[in-house]
Amino acid sequence: MGMSFDAHTDETDEALLQRFADGDQSAARALTLRLTPRVLAVAYRMLGERAEAEDVAQEAMMRLWKIAPDWRVGEAQVTTWLHRVASNLCIDRLRKRRRDGPPLEDVAEPQDPTPAPVTVMMAADRATAVRAALDALPDRQKQAVTLRHFQDLSNPQIAEIMEISVEAVESLQSRGRRALATAMQGRKDV
Amino acid sequence: MTNGNMTNADALTNAELAALEADLAHLGRADPVPEPSDALLARVLADAANHMPVAVAPERMARPKAQRRFDFGAAIAGFWQPVSAGLAAAALGVWLGWADPVGVNAYADILLASDSIEASDTVLDAFSLFDMEL
């Protein structure tokens, strides 16, 4: 990244958003540098595709700028709100993908008959298999598993993001993990 | 089990959970989340600039509308005071020069009459009575 981090490191997201709403350009810069990587991470883990993840990150941040003047301090954390917006945008895209079918560039090329080095192939295979197993999960299970295992959020935080109870989050995670474990076990058995 | 949707069949053994955690961690290492590109940050900042609320000076916000109208009138009057005084003086000068009103002439005679003392050797008639033949 060419942009260096600047001041405002000790200010809360809410305080910065308030300053942005008051017309402070430097607060916008600080929020962008602080929050865009987090939103991008959620989107990338949910979608698995960089360009789409960047579009989602931009859209989520734009919604933050729009809501800033009406933001009510103390009602929700900015990061919780952003995670919710980003993951819901991702679910919309995943549903659209399923409706429209896979894009042409995702259709598998015919296999190259030349064997790759075994270790590289196995490592790539494993990551690809985990990715495929994640992609095969129902959207809400994928959201719950991603937020827990890749964003390191607690279940109460995830419950707030997904607007469901903690018990429902645990249920989604449990079923998601079971499906993932089954898919990976099946791969090892082949 | 804390939810009716979750069954015992969903629960993983410790070994299964460890294997799954290892698989997910492997994916995290093999396919790390990309850093936001400069282009993305620039797009986000441009959106922020487009949606930045306009800053308004607090003292202007606090002033009532009637007060602002009065201020505007006072500003206009303050500008026109010296200008209108100059125009009035010029108009009066033109009027006095061209219209030549009688009252003004009389008043001007009083104001402009000379009070200097002129020397004279004329003897008044009354003083001839004092001429005596000795």
- Reading the block at residue B69, the tokens are 């109208």
Report d(CA B34, CA B37) in Å as an integer. 8
Q: Which residue among B6, B28, B43 sits closest to A150, beta carbon to beta carbon?
A: B28
Q: Which of residues 91-130 of A touch B (CB under 8 A)?
A: 123-124, 126-127, 129-130
- One-letter amino acid for residue A19 of the chain: R
The C-alpha of B63 sits at a distance from chain A's nearest C-alpha, in angstroms, of 19
Query: For the whole model, what pTM was predicted?
Result: 0.64
Q: Give me the pLDDT at residue A5, please.
A: 47
Q: Give me the pLDDT at residue B54, please.
A: 73
The C-alpha of A21 sits at a distance from chain B's nearest C-alpha, in angstroms, of 6
Lookup result for tokens 């069949």:
B9
Report d(CA A127, CA A119) in Å as an integer. 13
Low-confidence ranges of chain B (pLDDT < 70): 1-9, 55-72, 74-77, 99-104, 107-108, 111, 114-134
ipTM metric: 0.80
Q: Give me the pLDDT at residue B41, please.
A: 96
Q: Give me the pLDDT at residue B53, please.
A: 82
A29 at B interface, C-beta within 8 A:
yes
Per-residue tens of pLDDT for chain A, all 190 residues: 444 445 567 899 999 999 999 999 999 999 999 999 999 999 999 999 999 999 999 999 999 999 999 998 888 899 999 999 999 999 999 999 888 876 555 555 555 544 455 555 565 688 889 999 999 999 999 999 999 999 889 999 999 999 999 999 999 999 999 999 998 887 665 5
Is B30 buried (19+), middle (13-18) or exposed (0-12) by CB count in 10 A? middle
How many contacts (CB atoms, under 8 Å) link A and B?
140
Q: Which residue among B20, B31, B35 sits closest to A184, beta carbon to beta carbon?
A: B20
Residue A23 zone, left/alpha/beta (φ > 0; ψ -120 to 50; rest): left
Q: Give me the pLDDT at residue A16, please.
A: 94
SS3 state of residue A109: coil
B22 at A interface, C-beta within 8 A:
no
> To probe the interface with A, which of B21, B47, B50 has the most A CB atoms within 10 Å?
B47
A40·B41 Cβ contact <8 A? no
How many secondary structure helices (H) and strands (E) does chain B include? 5, 0
CA-nearest of A64, A61, A2, A89 to B37 is A2
Q: Which residue among A45, A130, A166 sits closest to B33, beta carbon to beta carbon?
A: A45
Which chain B positions have a beta carbon within 8 Å of A25's beta carbon?
48-49, 52
A71 at B interface, C-beta within 8 A:
no
Is A172 buried (19+), middle (13-18) or exposed (0-12) by CB count in 10 A? buried
SS3 state of residue A30: helix
